[in-house]
Structure 1
Amino acid sequence: MTRYRFVQLAVLVLVTAGLAGGAWLFLFQPVSVQVVETERDVSIQVFGLGTVEARVVSRVGFEVAGTLIELHADYGDRIARGTLLARLDSREQKARVAQAKAVVAQAESAIRQATATIERAQANLTQKAQANKRRRELVEGGGVSIEASQDAQAAHDMARADLAQAQSAVEVARANLEQAKAQAAFEETRLAKYALYAPYDAIVISRNRELGSMLAPGEQLFALVDPKTVWVLAYIDEAKAGRISVGQRAEVTLRSLADRRFSGRVARIDIESDRVNEERRVYVRCDECPAEFHLGEQAEVVITVSALAEARLVPQIAVSGMEGRNGVVWTVEDGHLAQRAVKFGQRTLDDRLEIVDGLPPGAEIIVRPHAGLRTGRAVTVNRPGERP
């Protein structure tokens, strides 16, 4: 019995010693930690999802009604400015143009006739004026009666009135000619609207009607896009968009070309944000966009808003008590653990925070806090390239 109790006591002593040793190792042996290294030339970036769009997209059609009789472009065609796209049946309008030109010719003939009338009236007035002068001279010498002189004066006055009337007729004829020319120009202009031309170098992205279709004025026939104006519309969280400005560098990744990155720059920032999603609309234009593009394709955009010449960055998961730009981190100070309330500055795209205030000189920040950390405990620091 005594021997059995002795064995029990020995086992108890061994267990107690083991537990005490384990507790000592857990509580007092230096713990191994990894600390933040100072980094240089750190890019601060923001991320957003968006779609491929174009600044210039035109939905074109005829300004007049008519039957579609010619089609010279189709979906996917690349067309130059001034290229004929389509034509309407214009026979009736051509007849109106011919009629208007005939009216112009009539008006020009009327002017020539009125001008001839002026010349005749002018000659008649000259003849009547001479006759009237002779009669007045003869009346003074008693050669003719006063009645004959009065008749000559009346004939002179009538000739003067005829000339004035002829001159007025010329003015009316000229006005009629101007009106006829204006009407002819109107009909010519309207005739030109029966043909549809490309307003700029473009790509046809849709064609809505077939030959023989009746089109109403303003009805869309083609949708055109200017390939030089293709850009990416990105939606950026307002909380991260404050430092974005026009001209900043950006990278675009298209969903269909996920293994490629296209460099670009911020071209425009909308004044109005999305009120529902609380996002800012930012437009990025590629420096070298792919030759083929697809409007509406999803794209990822990363914009570089600033760069830090030198910074110590701590992962957000290593921060406790995060409130705004303040939080608490574990530090190594003189070989022992401590906790410090620090202030943060910029945030990187991978959720690391720049520490700008709160660290005493010589303090180092622990990257991955784990169980067993307590204030004052001794530590050993593992640095990249060193064996633990």
Structure 2
Amino acid sequence: MRRIWLTGILLAAAAAAGFLFLTERPLTVAVVQPEHDVALRIYGLGTVEARILSRTGFEVGAALASLAADAGDSVARGQELAVLHSAVQEARVARAQAAVAANEANLAKAEAALVRARVMLAQREVANRRLQNLVQRDVASVQRAEEAQRDEDVARADLAVAEADVAVIRAQSLDAAAALRQEEALLAHHRLLAPYDALLVARHAETGAVVKAGDPIFTLIDPATIWIQAYVDEERAGQLAIGQPGTIRLRSQPSAEFHGTIARIGIESDRVNEERRVWMTCADCPAEMFLGEQAEVRILTGTRTTALMVPEVAISGFDGHRGMVWTVQDGRLARAELTFGARDDRGRVEVTGGLPEGATIVAGPPKGAAEGRRARISEAP
């Protein structure tokens, strides 16, 4: 009986010793060390895009007669890319040209009639004045004088009609000329020209196909406007500004690092993914870029001479500004609420306030931590 009693005491003592060892032995923890010349960067994931991209086609519809370019070609501004069948439109141009020629002939005829009417009026005026003088001297009859006055009035009316005919035909000539220019413009629309120095990305139709007005025939880009469109978490986007520098890594060249600057920040965020778009130009990217290729960007938003950077995983209840961390003070663990500022691309946040005097921040959530438990500081990770 005594042996059983002693065994029980020994077991209880061993359990108590084990419990005290597990709960009171010092925990070994890593703490955050101050860093110098800290670069604050924001990570973004995006793709290679072109600021100037056009899906170009004809302003009229017809069958494609020929195509002079293909995907991958570089073309100069004004270079012919494609031609539509234009026989019908050429006939319309010829008809408009004939109408212009006919109006020119009619105008010449009307102007000749105008000259004749002026001559006739001058002749009638002279005859009328002579007869009116003769009537006053009783040499000619009143009837002849009245007839001369009537002839002058008729000649004057004929002149007015001739002048009106010339005005009408001149207006018709302007209309015919405008119609000719319209038909010539429509004929010009049967040729598709490059709107700027461009690189052809895709060809969407082949010779013989009947296309409608506005159907895309080619997709082309201005290669000088290649940039990176990246998406940044809204929580970090508040630190972005136009002109900030950054580094770019292309998926096809993971070992190379290129440099660029922010050229545009989107004014509308993605409501589903809670991300903001930024566009970065690239100063030293390869000459050959591929649209849609995945790219990673790291944008430098600032630097700190000295900073305490705490991993976000070590912060509990973090709301973007405040959170709780474990600290080591006087050799024991304690909880502290800190305030935080800028973040970096390594999942860390800058401590801006709230750290008690003499305390150090635990770099990761320690297993078995409790308020007041002894802690031993190891080397920083």
TM-score by length of 1: 0.85
User: CA separation of 1:146/1:312 partners in 2, compared to 1, >3 Å: closer, same or farther?
Assistant: same
Structure 2 match to 1:295: 291
Identify which range, 362-371 or 102-111, moves more after superposition.
Answer: 362-371
**Pairing 1:90–2:71 present:** no
Structure 1 match to 2:152: 156
Identify which range, 311-320 or 130-139, moves more after superposition.
Answer: 311-320
Q: How do 1:55-66 residues align onto structure 2 when only pairs under 5 Å count?
A: 55-66=51-62
Q: CA deviation at 1:132?
A: 0.9
Aligned-pair identity in percent equals 45
Task: For residue 259 of structure 1, give the secondary structure of its aligned residue in structure 2.
Answer: strand
User: CA separation of 1:35/1:159 partners in 2, compared to 1, >3 Å: closer, same or farther?
Assistant: same
Q: CA deviation at 1:255?
A: 1.4
Q: CA deviation at 1:263?
A: 1.4
Q: CA deviation at 1:218?
A: 1.8
Cα displacement string for residues 176-202 of structure 1 (whole angstroms, at most 9, x for unaligned residues): 111111111111111111111000111
Task: For residue 221 of structure 1, give the secondary structure of its aligned residue in structure 2.
Answer: strand
**Pairing 1:191–2:168 present:** no
Task: For residue 200 of structure 1, give the secondary structure of its aligned residue in structure 2.
Answer: coil
Q: CA deviation at 1:336?
A: 5.7
Q: How do 1:357-376 residues align onto structure 2 when only pairs under 5 Å count?
A: 357-368=353-364, 370=366
TM-score by length of 2: 0.86
Q: CA deviation at 1:78?
A: 0.9
User: CA separation of 1:333/1:136 partners in 2, compared to 1, >3 Å: closer, same or farther?
Assistant: same
**Pairing 1:265–2:272 present:** no
**Pairing 1:121–2:117 present:** yes
Q: Count residues with an aligned counterpart.
A: 375
User: What amino acid maps onto 2:195 in structure 1?
Assistant: P
Structure 2 match to 1:49: 45
Task: For residue 282 of structure 1, give the secondary structure of its aligned residue in structure 2.
Answer: strand
Q: How do 1:319-334 residues align onto structure 2 when only pairs under 5 Å count?
A: 319-320=315-316, 322=318, 325-333=321-329
**Pairing 1:316–2:312 present:** yes
Q: CA deviation at 1:328?
A: 3.9
Cα displacement string for residues 40-64 of structure 1 (whole angstroms, at most 9, x for unaligned residues): 2222222222222222221111112
Task: For residue 142 of structure 1, give the secondary structure of its aligned residue in structure 2.
Answer: coil
User: What amino acid maps onto 2:132 in structure 1?
Assistant: R
Q: CA deviation at 1:335?
A: 5.6
User: What amino acid maps onto 2:146 in structure 1?
Assistant: Q
Task: For residue 261 of structure 1, give the secondary structure of its aligned residue in structure 2.
Answer: strand
User: What amino acid maps onto 1:172 in structure 2?
Assistant: V
8 Å Cα contact 2:234/2:275 also seen in 1: yes
Task: For residue 298 of structure 2, give the secondary structure of its aligned residue in structure 1.
Answer: strand
Alignment gaps of 5+ in structure 1: none
Structure 2 match to 1:133: 129
The one of 172, 176, 182 aligned to 2:168: 172
User: What amino acid maps onto 1:214 in structure 2?
Assistant: V
User: CA separation of 1:87/1:35 partners in 2, compared to 1, >3 Å: closer, same or farther?
Assistant: same
Q: CA deviation at 1:293?
A: 1.9
Structure 2 match to 1:218: 214
Identify which range, 316-325 or 88-97, moves more after superposition.
Answer: 316-325
User: What amino acid maps onto 1:178 in structure 2?
Assistant: L
User: What amino acid maps onto 2:307 in structure 1?
Assistant: A
8 Å Cα contact 2:63/2:84 also seen in 1: yes
Structure 2 match to 1:72: 68
Superposed CA RMSD in Å reads 3.1
Structure 1 match to 2:108: 112
